[in-house]
Chains A and B, each alone.
Chain A
Amino acid sequence: MSIVTVQLGQCGNQTGHEVFSALCSDIRGTHGLCSKKENQSYQDSCKERFFCEEESAVPVARAVLVDMEPKVISQTLSKAARSGHWKYSSHSHFCQKQGSGNNWANGYSVHGPRHQEAIMDLVQKEAEKCDRLGGFFTIMSMAGGTGSGLGAFVTQCLRDAFPTSFILNHVIWPYGTGEVIVQNYNSVLTLSHLYHSSDALLVHENDVIHKICAQLMNIKQISFRDVNQVIAHQLGSVFQPTHTAGGGSGYSRNPLGDLMETLVPHPEFRMLGLRNIPQMPESSLAYSTFSWPGLIKHLRQMLIANAQMEEGIDWQVRPPQPGSSIPSTNKPLHFNTSIANLVVLRGKDVHAVDLGSFQDPSLYTSWLNPQDAFNAWKTPRAFNKYEKSAALVSNSQFLLKPLDSIVGKAWNMFASKAYLHQYTKFGIQEEDFLDCFTTLEQVISSYTNL
């Protein structure tokens, strides 16, 4: 099954480019560490999922590029073409001239309806190129105007036009300081709207990825490109082909569907966080060895203690003792309760990995059976030069604190009525803001009381 990616705004397009780049470089690599047959199967599956062969010499990404100003798309298209290994279709982009001005209302209420037909037309064409459509993957930031506002609108359109398809929104959360002043307004508006049309939100936070770049990747002068490359690596580690547990011998045909099924049992809980281990500069890979027990132990503690990366993990945090009924307010401090988790393992000896520690019922709420709350996908084919790597996609309280912080700041600004005239100018009124705040406070409350 194929996934159609929709890249929205500057961030969406810049990140999307790194994602396809990483996927392509991974399948072209000779570091698979598995049988030729396995490797071939992996490559074919990846190509079917993300690329289209067409008559062109190189694989063509199954993607629609959308932006309200031309510079980024122009750059993105040419960068891909220059790689010589893959490219975007020359007919799969839509752009305008004047941008959205970091104004969610402009993106949602003005650009959205105005360009709906043209954009959905492109999406339809991409969808038709797929033998079987596995769903949509949108990449956007929520801080600006296009990715956020137009992105929310397009997601709604996707839902209306493809009511039975899966939609996964990959949303990038901005740095806490210093990107866009009205980012918290744009974020509140985006998240609340996406919550109503999307199946799930997969989140990356710039602050977290930045730390990974600084502390794990040892990058001195970190650029957005560096950040986007780490994000691309993390996404690739989840969405490159794998065998699901009950999927027989071939590669999973329906990654988005499987993801939704395992991780989103209840519509009120759609926020997914992503962790990946190990992460290091490429130059260090040759000198490092890892054991699966070590990796799994760290990953589990990262989950429990809500650690952002494999350094600085708080090992003191423990799950609550089983057997006692514990109201959420008495749970151990800083313990991250999960609804459901998915671990993706790639590389040497995956078949022998013991994941029992992730099935510990004390990690989870009591709604699902532990065997349903936890799932694992595996492949012996190594990913992106890492001999062994493990990714965790988690529906848990990972994002509770950052979400609460964003809503708090936005509310603080809203109380002073600052910048509201910029939104009402384009049709988003105070009542609309209030509705969005209400939706998100509800989400915060739900996750708090797990």
Chain B
Amino acid sequence: AVSLPFAVGQCGNQVGCRFWDLALREHAAVNKEGIYDEALSSFFRNVDTRSGDYGPGTYKGKICSLKARALLIDMEEGVVNEILQGPLRDVFDSKQLITDVSGSGNNWAVGHKIYGCQYRENIVEKLRKTAEHCDCLQCFFIIHSMGGGTGSGLGTFVLNLLEEEFPEVYRFVTSVYPSGEDDVITSPYNSVLAMKELNEHADCVLPIENESLFEIVNKIHQMINSGKLGSTVKQNSLVTASAGSAKTLQEKPFDAMNNIVANLLLNLTSSARFEGSLNMDLNEISMNLVPFPRLHYLISSLTPLYTLADVNVPSRRLDQMFSDAFSRDHQLIQADPKHSLYLACALLVRGNVQVSDLRRNIERLKPSLHFVSWNQEGWKTGLCSVPPVGHSHSLLALANNTCVKPTFIELKDRFMKLYKKKAHLHHYLQIDGMEQSCFSEAISSLSDLIEEYNELDATKGGPRIDPSRLKIAV
């Protein structure tokens, strides 16, 4: 089953670029015989370049030329051009790209209303073409940032489009949220306007914060430089990924951080691509982690962040991996799940980990976590046999937890600060199709979401009253 990523905007495409690079390396490490297999086909088409790009269906058997199933969208050319001139140039063709020159000026309305309108047909056509090449389309991924104009505006426009054109295909969104010190002044506007779209049209959202990524990257460098890991640290881990991967000479500043997001996506889809004793598909993630339609924001944490030297790791180290997944150091967003309420939690394990390891660790960690009363045993688990490159096992934890609330409240506060003063509003309102009501509806949508989390939080720690069962006449 195919997962189709859309990279929209500068951030989205930079992450996307890392993602394709790492995906190729992951599959190369597993697929020694160069056969185009089911696993590869979830992200790549196999094209026989002699018969032309859009030959009759994909060519099974030996790998000829792999083309990523993706759409790269940006209203500036810089990032996409770099990709096309770089080592990944053969992985994409021009028919997958939608670019323009002037950018969106960090304005959601420009991205959503102007470019949305302008490129709608183009996007739909390319989307349909790409989908045609898929045996079975299971899920769309949108990779973007919330604070700018293209990723935020056009990205959420694409989200709407996907719902219209392919209502049955799941829509996962990986969104990079702006930090408080973001240098784009209007990022709160862009983010809140985008949030409304995410509330209404996304099946699952994985919010990411740059601060968290930054801290993680720092931690890794500290560990490598401190010599604590000594000579056991392998340089070819996909988190640090410098040597051996397809890159330009100078490591671009955000690359390490983008690698983390790319790893998130790889791990998320690993069980759908590779075999294991308890498979976890993307539609299962949506099913188990979204108890109510709008509460679909999932906190992600990844471990391990550095390579473990031992191949046969005794259980103690394995258990450490589970503990780490619940430590704030490994989360991709600044939040505090341990002191908030879990609605649901998923653990996707890769590598030589068995069900008893899972159970032991769930039993161990459960007591320190607060689960909502109607989901006391709310754990979804998956076991994928194939570990990521350079690791013997790894764990991705996804939590639906009320601890996202503070992030949203802060966002709302920053928005209101600007909105009260009507700062920069004219840049938006002068765009065709934008009205004051767009803003009030967006903030209202965010407020409602916050309120839903409040209601759940109110139940935390309260007396547990189980509803009475149906009575049967004997």
Give chain A's interface residues, CB within 8 Å of chain B. Answer: 10, 14, 69-72, 74-75, 96-103, 145, 175-182, 210, 213-214, 219-225, 227, 407-409, 411-413, 415-419, 421-422, 437-438, 441-442, 444-445, 449
Contact = CB atoms under 8 A, between A and B. Distances in A.
Nearest to A409: B377
Nearest to A418: B291
Q: Which of the listed residues A14, A70, A177 has the most CB atoms from chain B within 10 Å of its own CB?
A: A177
Nearest to B355: A224
Interface in B265-319: 274-275, 277-279, 281, 283-284, 286-293, 315
Contacts of B378: 181
A221 B375 contact: no
A221 B381 CA distance: 17
Nearest to A443: B472
State the main secondary structure of chain B at its contact with A.
mixed
Contacts of A175: 355, 359
Contacts of B472: 438, 441-442, 444-445
Given A98-B136, A177-B362, A221-B354, A441 B469 contact: yes
Contacts of B376: 409
Contact of B278 (A214, A220, A224, A412): A224
A182 to B, nearest CB: 6
B358 A178 contact: yes
Contacts of B383: 224
B121 interface: no
B295 to A, nearest CB: 10
Contacts of B287: 101-103, 145, 182, 419, 422
Contacts of A422: 287, 290
Contacts of A214: 356
B132 interface: no
A224 B277 contact: yes
A155 B380 CA distance: 27
Given A145-B287, A179-B278, A181-B344, 16 more contacts: A10-B278, A10-B279, A97-B136, A177-B363, A178-B359, A178-B379, A179-B381, A181-B289, A224-B278, A408-B466, A411-B470, A412-B466, A413-B374, A413-B375, A416-B373, A438-B470
Nearest to A413: B374
Nearest to B358: A178
Nearest to A225: B277
B374 A418 contact: yes
A412 B470 CA distance: 11
Contacts of B290: 419, 422
Given A98-B138, A223-B355, A441-B470, A178 B277 contact: no
Contacts of A69: 1, 279, 281
A98 B135 CA distance: 10
10 contacts: A99-B1, A99-B279, A102-B287, A175-B355, A177-B379, A418-B374, A421-B292, A421-B293, A441-B469, A445-B472
B276 to A, nearest CB: 8
A74 B218 CA distance: 43
Nearest to B275: A71
A97 B135 contact: yes
B357 interface: yes
B227 interface: no
Kindly name the residue among A182, A220, A421 whose own CB sees the greatest number of chain B CB atoms within 10 A: A182
A182 B356 contact: no
Contacts of B471: 441
B467 interface: yes
B82 interface: no
Interface in B361-405: 362-363, 366, 373-381, 383
B283 A418 contact: no
Contact of A181 (B288, B354, B363, B467): B288
Contacts of A227: 355
A286 B358 CA distance: 33
Nearest to B380: A181
A180 B136 contact: no
Nearest to A75: B275
Question: Which 8 A/B pairs are nearest by Cβ-Cβ distance?
Answer: A101-B283, A97-B136, A222-B356, A418-B291, A415-B467, A178-B379, A223-B354, A181-B288
Contacts of A408: 466, 469
Nearest to B134: A97
B38 interface: yes
Contacts of B249: none
Given A98-B1, A418-B291, A411 B467 contact: yes
A441 B377 CA distance: 22
B474 interface: yes
Nearest to A421: B293
A225 B471 CA distance: 40
A413 B279 CA distance: 24
A227 to B, nearest CB: 7
Contacts of B357: 221
Nearest to A184: B377
Contacts of B380: 102, 179-181
A228 to B, nearest CB: 9
- Among A98, A213, A408, max chain B CB count under 10 A is at A98
Nearest to A224: B277
Contacts of B362: 177-178
A179 B347 CA distance: 10
A175 B359 CA distance: 9
A445 B283 contact: no
Given A178-B381, A438-B470, A70 B374 contact: no
B466 to A, nearest CB: 6
A232 to B, nearest CB: 15
B279 A71 contact: yes
Contacts of A98: 1, 136, 138, 281, 283
Interface string B325-360: 000000000000000000010010000001111110
A373 to B, nearest CB: 23
Nearest to A213: B356
Given A69-B1, A71-B38, A210-B359, A412 B281 contact: no
Contact of B474 (A145, A182, A419, A445): A445
